Structure 1
């Protein structure tokens, strides 16, 4: 009798049933459906960091102008004056940048991505050093910055 029980255990098939495999595939599909939109958002946020970094040279130029040129007011902080670079228009290859009364506006290039036309702004608190900046733009409402 003992040998018969051992023989039955040896011949018993091992592995997963079809229903178990189908359940696992369904769970993976549901997780992927939830994860892909979140991944796209993280990917767009990482891409938009490029536009945030594009504001750095303009920010530095305005801070240097405030410290060395002593402008009377924010209106004096204009493009192509006091060492502030000239405005750049957004194209399909280049992000746009503009300075108006010290407010820096970076516009994402006009490509076919979800980020096209999204803006990032930095607003100075005045013309006394150290300059404090306030972030703004449509990137805040869209969750990219």
Structure 2
């Protein structure tokens, strides 16, 4: 009786497992960076909405709807990963700025705890980095859009 065995040898299976391990070691950090970048982009999406509110409020010579400070409503917008609010920014051309504060419970582990992005709003609605009321962590530079740096 001549029987042949069918299947893979142990060395073939070990090679496949090693290849999968190498691919996972490359893919997981890249995916984590992708997640952090997408979460950081939410700050700029929310800021775009607040730029419209600032333009409307500035017709009353104030950054804020009530003329004094951010009071929620159109002056504050909550997102999935954090909250953006209008602030007074004396360094900004328009006198207005936006602070985006990450929610520690939902933000990526690559984003520092209590991270805040400060943004100046120019007269034309252009966003640029601001240091008023906040110092944006340097680690966030990796995740922010190139046009913002």
> Which TM-score band (shorter chain)?
0.5 to 0.7
Aligned length: 123
Structure 2 unaligned blocks of 5 or more? 89-94, 130-135
Equivalent position to 1:119, from 96, 116, 122: 116
Q: TM-score, normalising length from structure 2?
A: 0.60
Instruction: After superposition, give the CA deviation of every residue in 1:37-96 in whole Å (9 maximum; x if it has no partner).
Output: 221221222233433333233211112234x34x4xxxx5357428x84376x9xx9625
Asked if the contact 1:96/1:109 (under 8 Å) is kept, the reply is no
Q: TM-score, normalising length from structure 1?
A: 0.61
Asked if the contact 1:79/1:98 (under 8 Å) is kept, the reply is no
SS at match of 2:67: coil
Structure 1 unaligned blocks of 5 or more? 1-6
| Corresponding residue for residue 3 of structure 1 | none
User: In structure 1, how many angstroms separate the alpha carbons of the residues matched to 2:17 and 2:56?
Assistant: 59
User: In structure 1, how many angstroms separate the alpha carbons of the residues matched to 2:27 and 2:43?
Assistant: 25
Structure showing greater radius of gyration is 1
- Larger % of helix: which? 1
User: In structure 2, how many angstroms separate the alpha carbons of the residues matched to 1:133 and 1:118?
Assistant: 22
- RMSD after superposition: 3.5
Instruction: After superposition, give the CA deviation of every residue in 1:23-47 in whole Å (9 maximum; x if it has no partner).
Output: 1101101111221122122122223
Instruction: After superposition, give the CA deviation of every residue in 1:75-127 in whole Å (9 maximum; x if it has no partner).
Output: x5357428x84376x9xx9625241121111111243743332223332223x
